[in-house]
Amino acid sequence: MKKLYFCFILFLAPISGKLFSQTGSTFNFTNTGTSSAMDSAIDYSGQIWGQYLNSTVPIKVNVYYAFLGVGTTLAVTMPNGERDFPTAPLDSVWYPSCLANSMEGSELNPGEADMDIFVNNTVNWYFGLDAVCPAGKYDFVTVFLHEIGHGLGFLSLAKLQDTIGSFGHITTADISPLITSFPFPDLQGKYSIFSSYMENGSGQQLDDTLIFPNPSVVLGDEFVSNDLFFNAPLSFAQNGGAPVRIYAPTVYAPGSSMEHLNESTFPPSNPNTLMTPFSGMSEEHHTPGPLTIAILEDIGWNVNHDIGFENILSDLRMEIFPNPVQAEAFIRLDQSVQDEKMEIMDMMGKVVYVRTISVEQGAYYSIDLSALTGGIYTVRIKDGLFKLIKN
């Protein structure tokens, strides 16, 4: 059985600050209704995220262990936000407050949490830290890392009402009965930094109001097009030279559509699956994955590339050509590998090709892919992942 993550959004207003130079960041949690085992898992999750993101300003998180209904909701996150602060890279765009604070080097929202995370107390949770979740339980660290990811920037501010799509028109009525610990701002029809990088399969940006007035039916059509992408330089490169598929199913799922990586593109076997909308029982992912980190860097986070990345974000560079490939493909690596396993996975994450390769740096290595059916594949060598299209 799979359950839905449910995630919401909201935001606040500006003040001032400085620059920073620090490795990592600190999370300060204020927990309500939790057990000591849950507190430990919360702190552990903060330590994992804290390795990746540099900020001199602690990230403040309120956690509520509460009844969210008996059903499919695992947890709900409501991020605080800031816009038009002095160091904001873009004007009139909402940034998660913790990101704004990290850019400013000072606290723009004193006394307010950067995110409220509501965790459903009807779920059969596993609070262990070892990523060995027993059958029949949900791995809390996995879900909590996911929810923090929303507070760090995976939020679109999208809303679909009837057929009318909008950005920045979410109100307290939309999140009821939940209430945030911080004042709910007037979003004023502004986009989030995350949604400002969204485009459709034709490369039309969703924040282009000449094409997609906000709000409008044409914008709403895009929200259910199953054809939306996040397109920014670092994640584009990390994704093998392609925009990153966003979850935008033809039946709109409030709180899930527009807020996640596409489920089928990044299935549980994929290292970038953490920020997809569904999590199954005993599904464990205790790292954000290189693509999520690249997206966070794209929206403005100062990312720590020196700690915690050895086994996560590869420094291996690979060239595959031709791409798309018909039958024979050539790969070239920027370093020599000896008896290294190369795997090719389909879009469902199933390994469809395995070979042990040895190749000198810069030499071309030929592989016969004529047996593969047409589609998009991921080539994995060591911890490097590369996209391959087969015609």
From the number of C-beta atoms within 10 Å of its C-beta (0-12, 13-18, 19+), residue 188 rates as exposed
Structure tokens belonging to residue 6: 């449910």
According to DSSP, residue 213 is labeled -
Applying CB under 5 A, does 138 fall inside the site for Zn ion?
Answer: no
Query: CA-to-CA distance for 167 and 160, rounded, in angstroms?
Result: 9
CB-nearer residue toward Zn ion: 104 or 259: 259
Q: Does residue 7 interact with Zn ion by CB under 5 A? A: yes
| Pairwise CA distance, residues 206 & 222, whole Å | 8
**Prior bond of 324 cis (ω within 30°):** yes
Q: Report, in Å, the least distance between residue 259 CB and Zn ion.
A: 6
* 7/219 with CB nearer Zn ion: 7
What is the 3-state secondary structure of 348-388?
CCCEEEEEEEEECCCCEEEEECCCCCCEEEEEEECCEEEEE
The whole-angstrom separation of Cα 338 and Cα 12 is: 53
Q: Which residue is closest to Zn ion by CB?
A: 5
Contact 62, 77 (CB under 8 A): no
- Identify the residue whose tokens are 């794209």: 298
Closest approach of Zn ion to the CB of residue 337, in Å = 36
In the complex, least distance from residue 4 CB atom to Zn ion, rounded to whole angstroms: 8
Query: Distance (Å, rounded) from C-alpha 285 to C-alpha 268?
Result: 8
Q: Residue 68 or residue 329: which is nearer to Zn ion going by CB? A: 68
Identity of the residue, 191 or 278, whose beta carbon is nearer to Zn ion in the bound complex: 278
Fill in the DSSP letter of residue 196: G
Span near Zn ion by CB under 5 A; candidates 7-15, 230-238, 311-319, 322-330 = 7-15
- Of the ranges 6-14, 91-99, 181-189, 302-310, which one interacts with Zn ion (CB under 5 A)? 6-14
- Return the H-helix or E-strand segment holding 218: helix 217-223
- Can residue 152 be called a binding residue for Zn ion (CB under 5 A)? no
Closer residue to Zn ion (CB): 31 or 142:
142
CB 263 → Zn ion: shortest distance, Å?
11
Stretch that binds Zn ion, among 5-13, 182-190, 233-241, 313-321 (CB under 5 A): 5-13
Beta carbon of residue 252, minimum distance to Zn ion (angstroms, whole number):
15
| CA distance linking residue 43 with residue 38, whole number of Å | 9
Residues 74 to 103 in contact with Zn ion, rule: CB under 5 A: none
Near Zn ion by CB under 5 A, which window of 3-11, 14-22, 64-72, 126-134?
3-11
Of the two residues 152 and 206, which places its CB atom closer to Zn ion in the complex? 152
- Is 256 or 302 the residue whose CB approaches Zn ion more closely? 256
Question: Which is nearer to Zn ion, 133 or 258 (by Cβ)?
Answer: 258
* Binding residue count for Zn ion, defined by CB under 5 A: 2
- The strand pair at 27-32 and 384-390 is best described as unpaired
At 98, phi and psi to the nearest 5?
Answer: -70, -35
Nearer to Zn ion, 5 or 252 (CB): 5
* Structure-token pair, residue 214: 């906000």
What span, in angstroms and rounded, lies between the C-alpha atoms of 179 and 217?
29
SS3 321: strand
Taking the complex as a whole, how short is the minimal distance between the CB of residue 76 and Zn ion, in angstroms? Answer: 9
- Shortest distance (Å) from residue 26 CB to Zn ion: 23
Cβ distance to Zn ion smaller for residue 5 or 191: 5
Phi, psi angles (nearest 5°) of residue 119: -110, 130
Cross-strand bridge partners of residue 330: 321, 366
Shortest Cβ 141–Zn ion spacing (Å): 15
Judged by CB under 5 A, which of 5, 8, 127, 144 binds Zn ion?
A: 5
- Applying CB under 5 A, the residues found at the interface with Zn ion are 5, 7
